Amino acid sequence: MRSLISSLGLGLALMGLPAAPVWAQSAPAIAVAGVDFPTTAAVGSQALILNGAGVSSILSSRATVVGLYLSNKTAQVDAALSMAGAKRLQVVALRTLSARDLSNALLDRIRSNAAPGEVEANVLQIAAVGGVFGTRKSLSKGDVLHIDYLPALKATEFRINGERVAEPIAGEKFYPLMMKVWVGPKVRASTRDALMGGAPSE
């Protein structure tokens, strides 16, 4: 395949046509509910790999589909939560979603999946989640929410369609709470298992 791509590029050059730029050469992807998740991603300068992806019922059945990117693959929730380095949760809307409803659902999931003492240790961070979507009324079908952990800043960043929507939330112990929204003990097993590398939930 690589030789075919190289030959194609050479052929285009000989015809006086530009070869496709690097960014246009898409990485392999895994499709879940009609959404393509690239098998690799980059957060800051760190390369990540797709650990797993599946449909989430955070608001209702088939409202969103989510993928988890880590520096190394793991099938164990505890290992994923404690893994060092950058991380990414990629959430894609399967229908139009109220930003307020999504924010409230995230807060409810954080509280219901937190271990004893985690909520109390992250009161300011959890309160900040409520303001993340304050500038938006809704997410449209196909909108992409990235929730990234930035180890250099020890902070969690939220971006919608590539645009940062709030100041990063400081605190290295907060990001595992965001992960538990989709891999916590009270999450639907099919979603949790999919993010841990099992068969994608549909």
pTM (predicted TM-score):
0.85
**pLDDT for residue 159:** 97
What residue ranges do the domains of the chain occupy?
27-195
CA distance 33 to 29: 13
pLDDT score recorded for residue 70: 98
Written as one letter, the residue type at 41 is: A
Q: What is the second-level CATH architecture of the domain 27-195?
A: 3-Layer(bba) Sandwich (3.50)
Cross-strand pairs, 59: none
Which two three-digit tokens encode residue 140? 């449209």
What is the distance, to the nearest Å, from the Cα of residue 52 to the centroid of all Cα atoms in its chain? 10
In this predicted structure, what is the pLDDT of residue 134? 82
C-alpha distances (whole Å) from 181 to each of 13, 30, 91, 105, 116 are 49, 22, 12, 9, 15
Element (H, E) at 147: strand 144-150
pLDDT of residue 57: 81
Between CA 59 and CA 109 the distance in angstroms is 10
d(CA 85, CA 182): 19
Cβ neighbours for 122, distance < 8 A, ≥ 6 positions apart: 171, 173, 174, 177
pLDDT digit of tens for each residue in the chain (202 aa)? Answer: 444 334 434 443 444 433 433 333 456 899 999 999 999 999 999 999 999 999 998 887 789 999 999 999 999 999 999 999 999 999 999 999 999 999 999 999 999 999 999 999 999 999 999 889 888 899 999 999 999 999 999 999 999 999 999 999 999 999 999 999 999 999 999 999 999 999 876 6
pLDDT for the residue 130: 86
Amino acid at residue number 38: P
Tell me, what's the pLDDT at 149? Answer: 98
pLDDT of amino acid 160: 96
Structure confidence at residue 2 (pLDDT): 40
- Name the 3-class secondary structure at 124: helix
